[in-house]
Amino acid sequence: MHKWDIEFVHLDAGYGERAVLRDICAALPAGRISVILGGSGCGKSTLLKHIIGLSQPMGGTVRIGGQDFFALKAAAFRRVRRQMGVLFQDGALLGALSLAENVTLPLSEHLALPKPLLREAALRVLGMVGLQDFADYYPNQLSGGMRKRAGLARAIIAEPRILLCDEPTSGLDPVTAARMDELLLSMHEQFADMTLVVVSHDLASFRAIAEHALVLRDGRVIFSGRPDELERGEDPYVRQFLQRQSGDQGQTQRAALNPLARAALDAWLAS
């Protein structure tokens, strides 16, 4: 197995006693872009939290580079974690720090580097995501897309071997979402060995970047393989998902409003 493969071994996960993921067995290949797809609430973000080690599994485990991630001793766990960069959904930038301070946080905390060098490193990664002119801005002065790009800059500043992105295009307009996809592809070109894991339900993004697909439904894996195999798949849910069909033909029944409430509403609208 390659050093930075990620493998789920009979993984059960959840919150408290509520299981969200059940018996997940799949692998995300090293050096490729894997997209974890699935509808809202199917457990994509929970799976991501287990790759990062932010949550403990209820059963089974996650193997990273063949090592049982959750059986590692604290020092070894931290060593593996150091090889990961994470882009959280809204960037998760620290509000009290400027963009430059935010993106250099992993370096300034662990390395005794002089300030000019940190500044240079910040401008370098911010340049990679097109934010070099915003180094001294604070997160609340930026748009959602810019915050995500800044989050990406922070995730890659320590040149991690595994980059994990949680819904990088959610809430973005199509043009900004396409720009984010291009950024991820360019990261992949620049850091060829990097294992990139993207959690998404954005089909356009999936088609633009995926080299490997993992589809979840109701906490279970229903597909793991190449995107072209997924597109040719016969599974009805997968077909529905890829063709953006609701399954209930989009019909909704209009329920009548209580007559008293109707009369009150009409009177208010007319007033």
Partner 1 sequence: MAKLRNLPAYVGRSFLGGVGAVGGTTLFMLLGVSRIFSSAKIFPRTFRQLYVIGYQSLFVILLIGIFCGMVIGLQGYYTLVRFGSVGLLGSAVSLTLIRELGPVLTAIMLTGRAGSSMAAEIGVMRITDQIDALDVMGIHPMSYLVSPRLLAAVISFPLLTAVFDVIGIVGGYLTGVLMLDINEGAYFYRIASSVEMSDVAGGFIKALVFGLLVTTVCCRQGYNTHRRRDSAGPEAVGNATTSAVVISCVLILASDYVLTSFLL
Binding site for partner 1 (CB under 8 A): 52, 54, 78, 81-82, 84, 86, 88-90, 92-95, 105-106, 109-110, 154
C-beta closer to partner 1: residue 93 or 126: 93
C-beta closer to partner 1: residue 12 or 90: 90
Residue 100 Cβ vs partner 1, minimum distance, rounded to whole Å: 15
C-beta closer to partner 1: residue 105 or 135: 105
Residue 109 Cβ vs partner 1, minimum distance, rounded to whole Å: 5
- CB-CB contact of 187 with 151 (8 Å): no
Residue 82 Cβ vs partner 1, minimum distance, rounded to whole Å: 6
Q: What are phi and psi of 225, to 5 degrees?
A: 170, -160
Which residues lie closer than 8 Å to 117 by C-beta, 6 or more apart? Answer: none
* Cα 165 from Cα 195, distance rounded (Å): 11
3-state percent helix, strand, coil for the chain, nearest multiple of 5: 40, 25, 35
Residue among 60, 49, 69, 78 nearest 5 (CA): 69
Residue 58 Cβ vs partner 1, minimum distance, rounded to whole Å: 17
Residue 92 Cβ vs partner 1, minimum distance, rounded to whole Å: 4
- CB-CB contact of 129 with 54 (8 Å): no
C-beta closer to partner 1: residue 48 or 222: 48
C-beta closer to partner 1: residue 141 or 245: 141
